[in-house]
Amino acid sequence: MSRILIAEDEPRIAAFIAKGLRASGLMCEVAQDGPSALALAVHGEFELVVLDIGLPGMDGFEVLRRLRASGCVIPVIILTARDSTGDTIAGLEGGADDYMSKPFAFGELLARIRLRLRPAPSAEVHPVGELTAGGVTLDLRSRRVSAQGRASDLSAREFVLLETFLRHPGQVLSREQLLSHVWGFDFDPGSNVVDVYVRYLRRKIGADAIETVRGAGYRLRA
């Protein structure tokens, strides 16, 4: 049975989430401050963290930063009253896997938790172990990309985004398609998170590798 850590300092909200998760067949534990949340996430046996940003003692952004710095890759869903695009991007760039704003529907939170709890495809799904197109080679096991005679490590988001491009070389992919596939949920239409991550990839595989198709999206040069 999956165990979920709820890092939330508002007792009413924490109890609401915990009750719903337990009724859905999931185990959970509540941490009411940042230091406790970090310690439990690092040393506890949890499959996912629901992390509030406004925690006392250490805010959620710092908890997330330290969690990722420790090498912990547990999925994190940020749950917060802050809903600005800047906070959304900050959370995702800090290593969060998803982002929800308060107030929220429990059914939507549960759906996102279940999505993140799905097992990742094993390496056997890709027997060759790499994808190549347009002079770019992605090693699916090591998550390293080779292009223009140099190799680079990729963050989790960069890896999934580049894999998406490599599986559709020469095809125009809209921002909405990339948001849905890579981040798994819809953003504010004004969000530029896709543009930010395309820019990160261009630094590693070459400025001309991913073409901007004005008014349509992006395309990996085949």
Query: What is the three-class DSSP state of 80?
Result: strand
Amino acid 36 reads: S
Cβ neighbours for 167, distance < 8 A, ≥ 6 positions apart: 131
What are the backbone dihedrals phi and psi of residue 94, each rounded to the nearest 5 degrees, phi first? -80, -5
Confidence bin at 6 (pLDDT 50/70/90): very high
The residue ranking higher by pLDDT, 49 or 173, is: 49
- Whether the link from the prior residue into 103 is cis, omega within 30° of 0, is yes
Mean pLDDT of 26-44: 94
Mean pLDDT of 82-108: 75
- Which residue has 């940020």 as its token pair? 78
Using CA atoms of 44, 26, 8, 14 in order, give the dihedral in degrees to the nearest 10: -140
Distant-in-sequence contacts of 80-86, Cβ < 8 A, 24+ apart? 80/52, 80/53, 80/54, 81/53, 81/54, 82/53, 82/54, 85/188, 85/190, 85/191, 85/192
* Residue 184 region by backbone torsions, left for phi larger than 0, else alpha for psi between -120 and 50, else beta: left
Query: Strand 210-213 and strand 144-147: pairing?
Result: unpaired
Q: Report whether pLDDT(124) > 80.
A: no
| Residue pLDDT, tens place only, 62-71 | 999 999 888 8
Nearest to 158 by CA among 177, 178, 130: 178
Confidence bin at 98 (pLDDT 50/70/90): confident
List the single range of 22-36, 161-175, 197-211 with lowest mean pLDDT: 161-175
Q: Report whether pLDDT(189) > 70.
A: no
First-to-last alpha carbon distance for the chain, in angstroms, is 44
Looking at residue 157, its pLDDT comes to 84
Looking at residue 177, its pLDDT comes to 78
Mean pLDDT of 24-42: 94
List the single range of 29-33, 116-120, 210-214 with lowest mean pLDDT: 116-120
**CA dist., res. 206 & res. 89, Å (int):** 23
Mean pLDDT of 87-96: 74
